[in-house]
Structure 1
Amino acid sequence: MVTMPAPSENEPAGSGAAHPDPALLDRWTALLTRCRSAAAPPDPAPYGKNLLERWGEPQRRYHTTAHLAAVLDRVDELADHAEDPDAVRLAAWFHDAVYRPERSENEERSARLAQVALAEAGVGDERVAEVARLVRLTTSHDPRTGDRNGEVLCDADLAVLAGPPTAYAAYAAAVREEYGFVPDAAFREGRAAVLRHLLGLPRLFRTETGFARWEMAARHNVGTELELLGG
Structure 2
Amino acid sequence: MTRMPHTRAAAHPRYDALLAEWNELLRRCQSAGPDDTPDPGPYGREVLERWAEPQRRYHTLDHLSEVLARATELTAYADDPDTVALAAWFHDAVYRPDRSENEERSADLARRALGEAGVDADRTAEVVRLVRLTVTHDPAPGDADGEVLCDADLAVLAGDPASYAAYAAAVRAEYAFVPDPDFRTGRADILRRLLDLPHLFRTPYGQEHWERTARRNLTTELELLEA
Q: Same fold (TM over 0.5)?
A: yes
**Amino acid in the other structure paired with 1:82:** A
**Amino acid in the other structure paired with 1:24:** L
Cα shift at 1:38: 2.8
Cα shift at 1:19: 2.1
Cα shift at 1:15: 7.6
Q: Which residue is equivalent to 1:112?
A: 108
> Whole-Å Cα distance in 2 between the matches of residues 55 and 96 of structure 1?
8
**Amino acid in the other structure paired with 2:150:** C
Answering whether residue 13 of structure 2 is matched by residue 17 of structure 1, we say no
Cα shift at 1:18: 6.2
TM-score, structure 2 length as denominator? 0.95
Cα shift at 1:14: 8.4
**Amino acid in the other structure paired with 1:60:** R
Q: Which residue is equivalent to 1:26?
A: 20
Unaligned runs of 5+ in 1: 8-12
Structure 1, 124-133 or 30-39: larger mean CA deviation: 30-39
Answering whether residue 30 of structure 2 is matched by residue 36 of structure 1, we say yes
**Amino acid in the other structure paired with 2:158:** A
Q: Which residue is equivalent to 2:166?
A: 170
Structure 1, 156-165 or 14-23: larger mean CA deviation: 14-23
1:14·1:54 contact (CA, 8 Å) conserved in 2? no
SS in 1 for 2:17: helix
> Whole-Å Cα distance in 1 between the matches of residues 182 and 155 of structure 2?
26
Q: Which residue is equivalent to 2:62?
A: 66
Answering whether residue 40 of structure 2 is matched by residue 49 of structure 1, we say no
**Amino acid in the other structure paired with 2:182:** A
User: 1:29-70, CA deviations, whole angstroms, 9 ceiling, x for partnerless residues?
Assistant: 000000110341100000000001000000111111111011
| Aligned pairs for 1:47-196 within 5 A | 47-196=43-192
TM-score, structure 1 length as denominator? 0.93
Structure 1, 207-216 or 34-43: larger mean CA deviation: 34-43
Runs ≥4 in structure 1, deviation > 3 angstroms?
13-16
Q: Which residue is equivalent to 1:10?
A: none
Answering whether residue 212 of structure 2 is matched by residue 221 of structure 1, we say no
> Whole-Å Cα distance in 1 between the matches of residues 193 and 24 of structure 2?
36
1:14·1:58 contact (CA, 8 Å) conserved in 2? no
The percent of aligned pairs where both chains have the same amino acid is 64
> Whole-Å Cα distance in 2 between the matches of residues 33 and 18 of structure 1?
22
RMSD: 1.5
1:15·1:58 contact (CA, 8 Å) conserved in 2? no
2:6·2:45 contact (CA, 8 Å) conserved in 1? no
1:151·1:207 contact (CA, 8 Å) conserved in 2? yes
**Amino acid in the other structure paired with 1:83:** D
1:72·1:156 contact (CA, 8 Å) conserved in 2? yes
1:15·1:56 contact (CA, 8 Å) conserved in 2? no
Number of matched pairs: 222
